[in-house]
Amino acid sequence: MAYLDHAATTPMLPEAIEAMTAHLSVVGNASSLHAAGRQARRTVEEARETLAEALGARPSEVVLTSGGTEADNLAVKGLFWSRRDADPARTRVLCSPVEHHAVLDAVHWLGEHEGATVEYLPVDGHGRVHPEALREAIARNPADVALATVMWANNEIGTVQPVRELADVAAEFQIPLHSDAVQAFGQLPVDFDASGLASMAVSGHKIGGPYGIGALLLGREYAPVPVLHGGGQERQVRSGTLDVPAAASFAVAARLAAQDQERFAREIGALRDELVTAVLAAVPDAILGGDPAPAGPDGIPGRLPANAHFIFPGCEGDSLLLLLDAQGIACSTGSACTAGVAQPSHVLLATGTDPELARGTLRFSLGHTTTHEDVKAVAKAIGPAVERARAAGLS
C-alpha cells in the first residue's frame, strides 16, 4: 500500500514502540507514594522534561492530555472561563475560520452554551490570517476579548500561519493566543517560548508516537478552568491517571521529531514537490490548494513540507479517494475527523473556493515511511482515476 495519509496518523517509530513496550509490564500509578508509584512518577517527569526540551518549553509548562482534541478544548474553554470569571465583560472569542474542528466546535459550543460572542477572523485565499486583521479585530474593543485562537499550520491545505507576529499583536493588548500546533510539530521549527503563545496543542500519534496522548503547552501565568475534574494530576487543570507507557513513548517520538525536523522538511518536502509536479502533469486542470510557495511570505514557510492538497474540477472527492484506495493508495479528502461528511470543507469555503469545486478535493500527506515508489504510484493512478470519476459524474 502507498500510505499517503500521514496527517491523519503516521506509523509509530520503532524507538517509540520500544519505549512503550518496555513500560507496559511495569506496574505503578504515578500518583502513588510507594516505590512503584515513585518510579512511575520518575518516568513521567523524565518524559515531561524531554517533551519540554523538544518543544522549547519549561517542564512546568507541559500539561499531558489524551491528545490534541483535549488540549484544544482545555485551552479554548478553560481560558475563556477563567478570563470571563475575572472580568464578566470578556466574552468575545476571536477564531480563524480554518481551524480543526477540535477548536472550531469548542468555540461554537462556547457561543451556544456559555454566552460567548464568536468572531471569525478574515483569511486570504490561502487560508492565512494576517496580523493586521487580528489587530483590527482586537482594537474594536480590547476590553471584551477573552482569547484568540489561530492554528499553527492547517491540517487540510497545509498553509502555515505567522504565529510569532500574531502572538505579538495579541500581547500588545494582553490577549492570550492559543494555537493548535498538531500538524506543525515535526514539520516546522516549533518553539513554544519563542512563539509568544499563551498555549499550544500537540499530539503523539502525528509524530510517530502512540494514539491517546498529547500535551497542552501552557504558559505558567495562565490557569484555565478545568474541563475534567478529579485528582488534578496535571497542574490542577487536568485530571486523570497518567498513562506512563504512552508518556514515555510520546517523549521519545517528540525528541526524534525535533532532532529530525530539518532533514524531514528537506527530504519529504522534495518528495512532496515531486508529487505535486506529477499530479499536475497528469491532470493539468487540477488546482493546488493552500499557499503554492513553499518558502512563504517574509521568510515564514508557506506550507507544510508534507502536504499536497488538490482540487479536481468535475470530480467528487470521495469517489476519487475510493478509486485510488482500490489501487492500494491511501489518501483523504481532508481532515480524518470529518471523513464521510457530505459537505464542502469549511477550510476551502473560508478561502473563497466555490462550493462545487470544494467537493472535489484530495489531500496527500507524506511522512517518514513515504518513498519515491509511493509518489510514482500516485502519478500512474491519478489521471485514470480522475477520468473515471468525471465520467461517473456525467452519467
Which residue numbers are catalytic? 337
Give the residue among 94, 257, 117, 93 at the shortest CA–CA distance from 182.
257
β-bridge pairing 92-95 and 117-120: parallel
- Do 188 and 160 form a contact (C-beta atoms < 8 A)? yes
Cell 495562565, residue located? 222
In the chain, % helix, strand, coil (3-state, to 5) comes to 45, 15, 40
- What nine digits make up the cell of 219? 504558559
Q: How far from 260 is each of 153, 256, 342, 372, CA to CA, in Å? A: 19, 6, 38, 19
CA distance 94 to 82: 16
Cell 499536475, residue located? 280
Give the residue among 237, 231, 240 at the shortest CA–CA distance from 79.
237
CA distance 297 to 307: 18
- Do 301 and 161 form a contact (C-beta atoms < 8 A)? no
- Do 4 and 366 form a contact (C-beta atoms < 8 A)? yes
Residue 7, amino acid: A
CA distance 85 to 365: 41
- What nine digits make up the cell of 264? 524531514
Give the residue among 343, 356, 338 at the shortest CA–CA distance from 287.
356
